[in-house]
Amino acid sequence: MIAHADTIPKQRHPLIAFLLRWLLTTNHKEIGTLYLCLAFLLFFIGGAMAMVVRLELFQPGLQFTQPDFYNQMVTLHGLIMVFGAVMPAFVGLANWLVPLMIGAPDMALPRLNNFSFWILPFAFILLLSSMFMEGGAPNFGWTFYAPLSTTYGPPSTDYFILGVHLMGVSSVLGAINVMVTILNMRAPGMTLFRMPLFVWTWLITAFLLIMAMPVLAGAVTMMLTDRHFGTSFFEASGGGDPVLFQHVFWFFGHPEVYIMILPGFGIASQIIPTFARKKLFGYHSMVIATIAIALLSFIVWGHHMFAAGMPLAAELFFMYATMLIAVPTGVKVFNWVATMWRGSMTFETPMLFAVGFVIMFTIGGFSGLMLALVPADFQYHDTFFVVAHFHYVLYPGAIFGTMAAVYYWLPKWSGRMYDERLGKIHFWTATIAVNLTFFPMHFSGLAGMPRRIVDYSIAFADFNMLSSIGAGLLGLTQILFLYIVVKALTSGEKVTDAQVWEGAEGLEWTLPSPAPLHSFETPPVIEPDDAHAAADRA
């Protein structure tokens, strides 16, 4: 039983009622939808910026943009994709799914949930408005290294700083909410080690957010005082050090990398067992591997700075610590493969995206291992090889993970099925386009093409043309995705069965499709041997 009330009277003008509903909502499903819509919108805005970049790099020489505008596009593309697309998409999924999966009536702190979301659009208004200001948008790359961002940053940098502060407040409050929900709101019998993997990965992601985002806030605060109040944190003539900025930034930045992938791990761990029709292989080792990855993420930040100047001992430490991450990550990949081993596999769209996730994320993991080697990194540093690496973990990792989740749970959310044929077309074109875009970057990077430079040697022309063609195709496939989602929501085949996928396990599949506005008003009881108890093999 829940006490709730619809306070918005029915006689309001429909438009006002609509606005009030979405502005004032405290419902986890509605807020999840808001997050997902905002992420999708910003995904297209950030994608359009990537199109500008790839268009410019289609051929050597300056075609369409001036160097400064190119730098602005590179910067905003990175910032928007990280803070605007991937993170809100994952928070949206957490909002939708965590209460359903643990048998809770809603998030633990519903008003705070609304607050976390509605800060975000304003943060991005601050960030995006910088494009129209005198001196242009931030142009120093999404990592905003000092002194590019302090001494040489345009005036709009200050709006960017406050935008980052707002995003940080939103992320921390959102993470606290997820954390408390998971720790406090589980249905009777839902012990920690009966939680679905998606919930586990989000619990750990929330921890990383709470630990890392405040450090980012500290970094931008020091930037602000260095810019305007005469402090010298990042100024050697005052006794500070520009490299200090990199340390503080990457202390946030490396956990941030895992914030952007761990929920993807969780999604793959939900989907693969469903379509392999087997229990997840090695549930406990999956959980422990996730915890290990999260803890290691706090002691590897130096591998982003091998070329910046650190003592040899520090370089060695960060190298070995980084390579250690391959162990828990390898455990995960092994477990996904072992789950599929001798399963009764079918390849519906979510499964295709999940399998694509495993394969292509692993490619990104391998190039990460190459980058972890100090002597090799001296050559790879700041080349397109790095760009290829992190786009392989982010695009087929975070983005494919999100898309797999949308295909997988959309029938549960909306009560309507997507078009399976179009979904498969989407997957295959996206997979071809992702590889066409990012695989050649390995080669141009190894050959020495620097990243974040508007022009390049004619020697890299062929690889860049391939990447740009791939990027254009990739952009088009995401318009197809938009079409598929809209079509499913408006005219998709109605789903009547609660159990949308025959092999799916978990509490969310015990609710009718579409899931009612208020989910578990009476908590379900989870028995150890219940078919719906999340993989419990104790």
Partner 1 sequence: MSEAPAVGETPRYYVPHTSVWPIVGSVALFIMAYGLVTMIHQTTDKVAAEGTHGVWIFYIGLGIVAFMLFGWFGTVIRESVTGMNSGLMDRSYRMGMQWFIVSEVMFFAAFFGALFYARVISVPWLAGAGSNLETHTFLWPDFADVWPLFMTPGGTETEAMEAWGLPFINTVILVTSSVTVTFAHWALKKSQRIALGVWLAITVLLGAFFLLLQVVEYAEAYEELGLTLGSGIYGSTFFMLTGFHGAHVTMGTVMLAVMLFRVFSGHFTPENHFAFEATSWYWHFVDVVWLFLFTFVYWF
Q: What are phi and psi of 522, to 5 degrees?
A: -110, 125
Q: Is 284 a known active-site residue? A: no
Active-site pick, 28, 165, 304, 391: 304
The CB density around residue 151, as the number of other CB atoms within 10 Å, is: 12
Q: Is 142 a known active-site residue? A: yes
Kindly state whether residue 315 participates in binding partner 1, applying the rule CB under 8 A.
no
Kindly state whether residue 132 participates in binding partner 1, applying the rule CB under 8 A.
no
Residues 488-527 that bind partner 1 (CB under 8 A): 518, 522-523, 525
Residues 241-280 that bind partner 1 (CB under 8 A): 241, 243-244, 247-248, 251
From the CB of 183, what's the least distance to partner 1, in Å? 6
From the CB of 194, what's the least distance to partner 1, in Å? 11
Residues contacting residue 150 through CB under 8 Å, at least 6 positions apart:
223, 226, 227, 234, 235, 245
From the CB of 242, what's the least distance to partner 1, in Å? 10
Kindly state whether residue 127 participates in binding partner 1, applying the rule CB under 8 A.
no
Q: Is 201 a known active-site residue? A: no
Kindly state whether residue 299 participates in binding partner 1, applying the rule CB under 8 A.
no
Scan for tokens 């860049």, then name that residue.
464
SS (H, E, C) 239-276: CCCHHHHHHHHHHHHHHHHHHCCHHHHHHHHHHHHHHH
Kindly state whether residue 200 participates in binding partner 1, applying the rule CB under 8 A.
no
Q: Which is nearer to partner 1, 102 or 495 (CB)?
A: 102
Residues 390-429 that bind partner 1 (CB under 8 A): none
Q: Report the C-alpha gap between 40 and 95 in whole angstroms.
A: 16
From the CB of 400, what's the least distance to partner 1, in Å? 30
Kindly state whether residue 177 participates in binding partner 1, applying the rule CB under 8 A.
yes
Residues 56-85 that bind partner 1 (CB under 8 A): none
Q: Identity (one letter) of the amino acid at 166?
A: L
Residues 142-161 that bind partner 1 (CB under 8 A): 155, 158-159, 161
From the CB of 221, what's the least distance to partner 1, in Å? 8
From the CB of 111, what's the least distance to partner 1, in Å? 5
The DSSP result for 171-213, as a single string, is HHHHHHHHHHHHHH-PPTT--GGGS-HHHHHHHHHHHHHHHHH
Q: Which is nearer to partner 1, 113 or 383 (CB)?
A: 113
CA atoms within 13 A on the CB side of 429: 18
Exposure letters 292-331 (e unless 16+ CB within 10 A, then b):
bbbebbeebbbbbbbeeebeeeebebbbebbebbeebbeb
Point out which span in 44-52, 173-181, 271-279, 527-535 binds partner 1 (CB under 8 A): 173-181
Write the burial class of residue 232 (CB in 10 Å: 0-12 exposed, 13-18 middle, 19+ buried). Answer: middle
Point out which span in 181-189, 260-268, 402-410, 480-488 binds partner 1 (CB under 8 A): 181-189
Kindly state whether residue 311 participates in binding partner 1, applying the rule CB under 8 A.
yes
Active-site pick, 30, 56, 106, 348: 106
Residues contacting residue 420 through CB under 8 Å, at least 6 positions apart:
348, 349
Q: Is 451 a known active-site residue? A: yes
Kindly state whether residue 23 participates in binding partner 1, applying the rule CB under 8 A.
yes
From the CB of 13, what's the least distance to partner 1, in Å? 17
Q: Report the C-alpha gap between 538 and 525 in whole angstroms.
A: 18
Question: Residues 15, 229, 490, 529: which binds partner 1 (CB under 8 A)?
Answer: 229
Q: Report the C-alpha gap between 129 and 409 in whole angstroms.
A: 35
Active-site pick, 75, 149, 171, 437: 171
Active-site pick, 75, 156, 329, 367: 329
From the CB of 386, what's the least distance to partner 1, in Å? 25
Quick note: the x/- pattern for partner 1 over 335-354, rule CB under 8 A, is --------------------
Strands of 472-514 (E only): list them. Answer: 493-494
Kindly state whether residue 480 participates in binding partner 1, applying the rule CB under 8 A.
no
Instruction: Give the binding-site size for partner 1 (rule: CB under 8 A).
Output: 92
The CB density around residue 424, as the number of other CB atoms within 10 Å, is: 14
Contact 399, 434 (CB under 8 A): no
Kindly state whether residue 297 participates in binding partner 1, applying the rule CB under 8 A.
no
Q: Is 269 a known active-site residue? A: yes
Q: Is 414 a known active-site residue? A: no
Contact 414, 514 (CB under 8 A): yes
What residues are labeled active site? 77, 106, 142, 170-171, 254, 256, 258, 269, 303-304, 329, 332, 451
